[in-house]
Amino acid sequence: MTSRTRPRRTVKVPAGATTVRIPRQRGRRSAQPFVVVMPERPSLTRETLAAVGALLWHFRGALAPTGFAVLALVVSAVLHMIAWWSGLVLAPVAAGPLVWLLVMQRRRPAAGTALAWRIALAALAASSLAWLALAAGFGPLAGALEVWWLLMLLTAQTAWLIVRRTH
């Protein structure tokens, strides 16, 4: 059998790599051809995104409120596109944190900083749920809802960092 009729072996090459085949040397019939695999260089954009992703992953605990805020923004946009009337369903839910505050104050009365933290938490949660209801009804970027979202994000992130630092 001549070398032209023999089937060639396939070489597995990783995705994104460039292969260069060097033909068989003359006079050496039993030697296999050389295969040089050169990996593709990642682009600057890919390296930048990898660095940003690694930073976000490293500080994921400290950035939890930001992640929830972005998730709420996306969920409200999807709810607005699919079912604008979901804002009407979510509107009564905004009173839930205020009811929680009243029930907690009746069962376990608090004073001083504990009461201040309860009031702040209930106010932020009620404001967030009211924003979610309005954003689902009118769209997350309608009117002043985007500024409201940003102010709640900054408040929650600041409070989160303070609480994490003290405990």
Phi-psi label, residue 121: left if phi above 0, alpha if psi -120 to 50, beta otherwise: alpha
pLDDT at position 143, please? Answer: 87
What tokens appear for 2 in the block? 């001549």
Q: List all residues 6 or more positions away from 23 whose beta carbon is below 8 Å from its beta carbon.
A: 33
Longest Cα–Cα distance of the chain, Å, equals 96
What tokens appear for 122 in the block? 């209930």
pLDDT at position 14, please? Answer: 65
pLDDT at position 4, please? Answer: 57
pLDDT at position 22, please? Answer: 64
Alpha-carbon distance of 89 to 82, in angstroms, equals 14
pLDDT at position 165, please? Answer: 85
* One pLDDT digit (tens) per residue for the chain, 167 residues: 555 555 556 656 666 666 666 666 666 666 666 666 767 788 899 999 999 999 999 999 999 999 999 999 999 999 999 998 999 999 999 999 999 999 999 999 988 888 998 999 999 999 999 999 999 999 999 989 999 999 999 999 999 998 888 87
